[in-house]
Amino acid sequence: PDFTVEILPEVDSTNTELMRRARAGQTEPTLLVAERQTAGRGRMGRVWQSQPGDSLTFSLSLPIAPKDWSGLSLAVGLSLAESLHPQVGLKWPNDLWVQERKLGGILVEAASMGGRSQVVIGVGLNIRPRPAEGMNTPPAALTEWLHDISAPAALALVAAPLIQTILAFEQTGFAPLQQRFEARDVLKGRRVHTSDGAQGMSLGVSASGALRLQTDSGVLDIHSSEVSVRPF
């Protein structure tokens, strides 16, 4: 489809803005880039903080109606990782991860109105290194591998393949991507625990994008967005 591309010097959050438009009935496929977000959001109520130029922050909005939504955010992460660099790994469900550090995150939201659904996919990607906040390890940044890359250049690398991935996902779901995800899965074979108390060894992801955990009481499938996972 044709995409409207919009660049805003400042917005509260590109996801919030595109969700507002979706709820107001706007279905036009849109790519919205912000130079600065004043209220960037992450998954599970977290904040996404970034300074202009230090990160690439954008969202895509498009009307899609997949039979099964599960695995969409994994497909998005996979597309980004494959567009960026062979070293970029994936930490379930959809963090971009390099050498035990977070390179980027994805926030997938959807608005449905009278049988139609509009999906809003937000991407935050660290471009330049910045200091750690609090006790966390400092995040990874793309310029550590791709020395001169800027936010617009990173956007040019990832945007078209990402749109193709989302349209393909609408037709065929996550299953055809399972093995490619596995090739970049940084949790597979490691002991992990989830925020709601499950723990075990990661067996990888299922054909629908669930995290498969070998626990003491059997194999547990954990579905996207229920939990967060940290390696021990």
Residues that bind ligand BTN (CB under 6 A): 13-15, 37, 40-43, 46, 48, 57-59, 105-107, 122-124
Q: How far is the CB of 18 from ligand BTN (least distance, A)?
A: 9
**H or E segment and range at residue 221:** strand 218-222
Residue with smaller CB distance to ligand BTN, 46 or 175: 46
Catalytic site includes residue 212: no
Closest among 167, 132, 158 to 58, alpha carbons compared? 158
The whole-angstrom separation of Cα 222 and Cα 225 is: 9
Least Å distance, CB 218 to ligand BTN, is 29
Is the CB of 55 or the CB of 70 nearer to ligand BTN?
55
Contact 230, 211 (CB under 8 A): no
Any catalytic annotation for residue 67? no
Q: What is the CA radius of gyration of the chain?
A: 17
Provide DSSP, 68-116: --TTHHHHHHHHHHHHH-TT-EEETTTEEEETTEEEEEEEEEEEEETTE
How many other CB atoms are found less than 10 A from the CB of residue 64? 18
Nearer to ligand BTN, 122 or 200 (CB): 122
Catalytic residue (choose from 43, 91, 184, 188): 43
Buried b (16+ CB within 10 A) or exposed e, 13-22: bbbbbbbebb
Q: How far is the CB of 230 from ligand BTN (least distance, A)?
A: 13
In the residue annotation, 102 being an active-site residue is answered as yes
CB nearer to ligand BTN: pick between 39 and 219: 39
Q: Which residue is catalytic, options 36, 101, 102, 212?
A: 102
- Shortest reach from residue 217's CB to ligand BTN, in Å: 29
Distance of CA 126 to the CA centre of its chain: 13
| Chain residue whose CB lies nearest ligand BTN | 105
Instruction: Provide the annotated active-site residues.
Output: 43, 102, 230
